[in-house]
Amino acid sequence: MYCPLLKEPGFNNTLCSKKSLVRSAAAKAAADSPIPTAGSWRRRKWLPVDVGSGGRKADNMDVLYHQTNKQVHEIQLHMGRLETSDKQSVHLVENEVQARIDQIFSNLERLEILSSKEPPSKRQNAKLRVDQLKYDVQHLQTALKNFQHRRYNQEQQEKEREELLTRTYTTNDSDTTIPIDETLQFNTSLHNAHRGMDELLGSGSSILDGLRDQRRTLKGTQKKILDVANMLGLSNTVMRLIEKRAFQDKCIMIGGMLLTFVVMYLVIKYLT
């Protein structure tokens, strides 16, 4: 191979030979490699370049938030339809509202995950927006349950009313049985209580009669004693003692009468 550098005086032949070899190898490689065409460029696979996921996450969260908020407003409209729906379509509307509420709860879970990945400067605001949506959905869920409870009670009342109006009354036959055992027991207890009260009143009346007889007996005895004392000429001191004892007996009798009255009042009040 010809090397033009060999004509230079004092040039190193070894260096020239090495450079010549390098140039020849490069030329051979260029000749062997195919020239790229338009088709080969189209067949080449290009790797995607990540330009940053923060913007896409923010866009996804905003889109999901607006979709969820729109669904909340739609559920509010459906709740208004529940009050005016007939019996045939109210169940369909309820199922549709419940399905939308479940979908919103699923979206809220995704929003909570996305809000936790927001930058610190936007994270608090994002969580507040998600909490507001959650409060609205919980309020709608409670309103739906209250409506279902009212509807169930109303349907039960209408069903019982229809059964009462359509019930046919017939005469009693030999196979008709009426459960009156508890009523009979209650009636027997009342009769026993009345009988006990009558016996108690009778006992009280007999006691009062006995006290009246004792009073008459004591008065007669006192009169006889006074007569005997007058006849015997007892002193005034003895007479005063006798009168004092008579007064004590009178107080005892009155106290016994009052005690009997209190006992009868308590028995009548708490046993009847």
Tell me which of 22-31, 143-152, 205-214 is least confident: 22-31
Output b/e per residue, 214-253; b: 16+ Cβ within 10 A.
eeeeeeeeeeeeeeeeeeeeeeeeeeeeeeeebeeeeeee
The band of 35, judged by pLDDT with boundaries at 50, 70 and 90, is very low
Average pLDDT over residues 188-206: 87
Contacts for 70-78: CB closer than 8 Å, 24+ residues apart: 71/100, 71/103, 71/104, 71/107, 72/104, 72/133, 72/136, 72/137, 72/140, 74/100, 75/100, 75/101, 75/104, 75/137, 75/140, 76/140
For the chain, the average pLDDT equals 74
For residue 260, give both structure tokens: 């009997």
Task: Return the domain boundaries, the chain.
Answer: 55-165, 188-271
Q: State residue 232's pLDDT score.
A: 67
If you classify domain 55-165 with CATH, what class do you get?
A: mainly alpha
